Chain A
């Protein structure tokens, strides 16, 4: 019963907030839109091409590196569990694994793959 009451309070609070925001939005209603006001501001001229452009996802190289290291973190969980038992051997093995990945990053860096622009 208490849980139901709490849920009801939460529901009423958010519904009330939503309605209050809607009312505030209407009370401070924005002016109607006209054709010149729809044009993006570029310094006083209109655009010559429309906004649907095929965008180059230039951060794709960085996204791939992020994924690689994300997966590597997954490997490190079981490794951390056995690290104390295995000792230095496990440490060295992980060091080798990470070094190979880091070498890949350094190579990509030298090739300019991480240039954002």
Chain B
């Protein structure tokens, strides 16, 4: 028995490290892979053996997904998972050796392929991008270390960073970094172009939204057209908030707690309000969260939805609806409008929604003029345009905390209140 097969035997007992990309319509299914003990989602493709694209690829996502694919050390596996078993995705063919899995059974397919990969069978070596540098190395010297001066070359066509004023009066290098659209801490598809001086963001702009006019028809969008049960609507809202909380906990460095919240989000029943309050309240009131998010990313204007309510604005489309008033609905608000208030707001709203769902029974709500979605009234102006103003001047850690606390959804931002035809 050689070293290789011995190492493969040891490695096959561990969960399959996979880089998970949420495509169009695949965000929540991708999140649920975090609950799967046999798959370990990684933060970088370099740590992964497999690429899992959940949902549909778009033209905007494609270059990044191809690069992430190539950065998984070969031999590598590539999967596209279409949980609803919908028609094929023509873009997936651009990933060499991709296997499309429809419906259930994804994990079994991955485990089989991974065991084969470790034993030396299967797995692709072919890159999606050509093996060509963006530009030739133009430095001189035996290691191409440059022309004039220490850093004189333009290696691979990438120039030296420009200099900009720093806050201590020096002029130092400012790194312009494009983070996303597959950055694991950001909502899927969000790309920020950040000018970093040290870890202070001096300039922020939002990259192009990779999603275009494609959104699954969910209960909130159905509520615009027809009467839907209040319980269903409120359960969907509670799930959305709990899923957000799970993701935010993961980014905050508490993955186990995040998994607990996520499994609660997936299995939540109306009677679970007490569980949510037991889980969420100590967290929302705890000192750790205050240290992380207190005073960070304050937005005081009335932006609608949980973000507006976290700043103390009583604006909730539900308060104008008779069916909700009959249930004794009162919007929850918080003060401050910072990331901490937004965390507390969503935990409180998740609990409130479960209680409403429990109280509502079979009651339905007719199509109101405005439907309050989990991120505010459907079709309202997205928070995306505000991002640059809010994020400039922040240190990187605060920037990530703020982006996470806004619960952005780029697919929703791309279509507003519309649905897929």
Contacts and interface: CB of A to CB of B under 8 A. Distances in A.
Contacts of A48: 158, 176-178
Contacts of A110: none
B74 interface: yes
Interface stretch (A33-41, A74-82, A86-94, A100-108): A33-41
A41 B71 contact: yes
A24 B183 contact: no
Contacts of B66: 36
Contact of A43 (B134, B162, B181, B200): B181
A73 B247 CA distance: 48
Given A36-B67, A39-B67, A53-B161, 9 more contacts: A36-B66, A41-B68, A43-B182, A49-B159, A50-B158, A53-B173, A56-B198, A117-B198, A117-B200
A27 B64 contact: no
Contacts, number: 119
B2 interface: yes
A97 to B, nearest CB: 29
B122 to A, nearest CB: 15
Contacts of B65: 44
A37 B73 contact: yes
A52 B70 CA distance: 24
Contact of A49 (B128, B158, B182, B198): B158
A37 B70 contact: yes
A42 interface: yes
Interface residues of A, number: 28
Q: Which 3 A-B pairs have the closest CB atoms?
A: A44-B64, A43-B183, A36-B70
B172 A54 contact: yes
Nearest to B61: A44
A50 B155 contact: yes
Nearest to A52: B151
Given A44-B65, A49-B161, A28 B172 contact: no
A28 B3 contact: yes
Nearest to A29: B4
A24 to B, nearest CB: 7
A47 interface: yes
A30 interface: yes
Contact of B67 (A31, A45, A50, A54): A45
A14 interface: no
A46 interface: yes
B131 A43 contact: no
B421 to A, nearest CB: 28
A31 B160 contact: no
Contacts of B163: 54
A25 to B, nearest CB: 11
B7 A117 contact: no
Contacts of B183: 42-44
28 contacts: A27-B2, A31-B74, A35-B129, A36-B70, A39-B67, A41-B71, A42-B177, A44-B63, A44-B67, A44-B68, A44-B180, A44-B181, A45-B64, A45-B178, A46-B67, A48-B178, A49-B161, A49-B175, A49-B176, A50-B155, A50-B156, A50-B158, A50-B161, A52-B155, A53-B175, A54-B172, A56-B172, A117-B200
Contacts of A38: 133
